[in-house]
Amino acid sequence: MDIKDLEDLLQVESSPENKISFADIKGIVKDYCTYIWSKKWILIAAGFIGVIIGIIHAYIYKPTYTATYKFSIESKNGGGSGLSALSMLAGFGSSSGTFSGDNLVELFRSRSMVEMALLKPIIIEGDTMNLLEYKILADSARIKCNEIKAKRDVSKPHIATLCDVYFPYGQDRETFTREQDSIIMAIASEMITNDISIEKIDKKLSYANFSVSSKNEKFAKEFSSAMINTVFDFYLKSKRENAQRNLNEFQTRADSIRKELNKSLYAVAHYRDLNMNPSKSVLGVEQLKYQTDIQINTAAYSEIVKNIEVMKLDMAKSEPLIQEIDVPRYPLENDKKGKVKTGIKYGFVVGFLAIFVLCGIHFFQKLNSKEETENSFE
């Protein structure tokens, strides 16, 4: 292709015949609008069908209920100002423990905490069962068990399912079978991923929201309450046990010093009974040695006893304050769909889809008509 051919090609492409004007666009839009209007009864029928589908969907849709707790946790630090340097060196003067507010939030994501809460009792129509068994029933997980068991070949081994495994109320967690363990672990993990939410609102003020979502309103409320109680009880118990462990260790040291002090006192008394002549230099040195030990141990023991009393006071003052601010009440928050609103929404969606389909049909009709016209001229 030479330069002349290229110029001719550019002139053809830029000729007025190949340009689309505003009038052309207006004509195309008018043509499509005329076609769609000619099919208005189809659009009306499509919209009506969409409304019916929306109403049916809203009617059969099971809403998700959400139970939300809002709580705060504050540490009432005793300050440890009354503790001596000896207590600090022993490691008991710090008010910070293994469990802090951040760790409390993480406990809500713990599988063991969820499992413990699932084994809490619930009363349904006078019958007591654990929340795990109630969840299985509420989720209709055993609705087809009779049908499944009827189709089984009893002569062949089969994998245990929820149709074979039950969780009777009061059964010790440590006595669970392998099948029970696998099921409760799977349910707990699934809940942590999809149904449980913990959000720390204000790090400075230690506010947090804990939410549980479920298709069953009663389960959402009861499980959220069981989870709150389980985590808080574990948290406070751990704090107390840590503090008590430290106090016991300090008390053991005090008892050891007291024992050494008593030894020195009895040794001095016994030595004096056996040696009535204190003028001997050897006797004076031995007596001075025992008296020095008594003075040192007495001072150390007095200091430790004082620190133990301060530690007991600090334990009471440093008890974390967990306060429930908002608790879930019936009716719970849910995403229930209104029939009218959902019907209108579906009507518009189906109507727009119908318009899109009609435009596609009209486009291909015009395209086929153009090809037929060109073929007739040939």
Residues in the chain, how many? 378
Say yes or no: 232 and 355 in one domain. Answer: no
**Does any domain span residue 236?**
yes
Say yes or no: 168 and 104 in one domain. Answer: yes
**Does any domain span residue 178?**
yes
Say yes or no: 179 and 294 in one domain. Answer: yes
Give every residue of the chain whose pLDDT is below 50, as ranges: 1-7, 9-15, 78-99, 281
Which is nearest to 287 in space by CA: 270, 305, 308, 312? 270
For residue 261, give Cα distances in angstroms to 67, 251, 252, 307. Answer: 60, 15, 14, 18
**Does any domain span residue 281?**
yes
pLDDT at residue 150 in the model: 64
Number of domains observed in the structure of the chain: 2
**Does any domain span residue 245?**
yes
- Please identify which residue in the block is written with the tokens 């089984």: 152
Say yes or no: 37 and 110 in one domain. Answer: no
The residues, any chain, with a CB within 8 Å of residue 285's CB and separated by 6 or more, are: none
- For residue 224, the tally of other CB atoms under 10 A from its CB is 24
| 224 within 8 A of 69, measured Cβ to Cβ | yes
Say yes or no: 355 and 318 in one domain. Answer: no
Q: What angle do CA 204, 206, 210 make, to 5 degrees?
A: 140
Structure-block tokens of residue 121: 């009792």
For residue 274, give Cα distances in angstroms to 15, 54, 259, 289, 327. Answer: 134, 106, 22, 16, 75
Say yes or no: 54 and 73 in one domain. Answer: no
The residues, any chain, with a CB within 8 Å of residue 357's CB and separated by 6 or more, are: none
Give per-residue pLDDT as tens, 3-59: 444 445 444 444 455 566 777 788 888 888 898 898 889 889 999 999 999 999 889
Say yes or no: 52 and 106 in one domain. Answer: no
**Does any domain span residue 12?**
no
The CATH number given to whatever domain includes residue 130 is 3.30.1890
Say yes or no: 250 and 357 in one domain. Answer: no
**Does any domain span residue 2?**
no
DSSP code of 155? T
Say yes or no: 56 and 193 in one domain. Answer: no
pLDDT at residue 138 in the model: 86
The residues, any chain, with a CB within 8 Å of residue 27's CB and separated by 6 or more, are: none
pLDDT at residue 105 in the model: 79
Q: What SS3 state is found at 269?
A: helix
- Please identify which residue in the block is written with the tokens 């392998």: 178
Say yes or no: 357 and 321 in one domain. Answer: no
| Pairwise CA distance, residues 220 & 216, whole Å | 6
Say yes or no: 290 and 269 in one domain. Answer: yes
Give per-residue pLDDT as tens, 232-284: 888 888 877 877 887 888 788 878 878 877 777 777 676 666 555 555 545 55
What range does the domain containing 368 cover?
24-60+345-377
Say yes or no: 29 and 178 in one domain. Answer: no
pLDDT at residue 83 in the model: 47
**Does any domain span residue 11?**
no
Q: How many helices (H) and strands (E) does the chain have?
A: 12, 7
**Does any domain span residue 231?**
yes
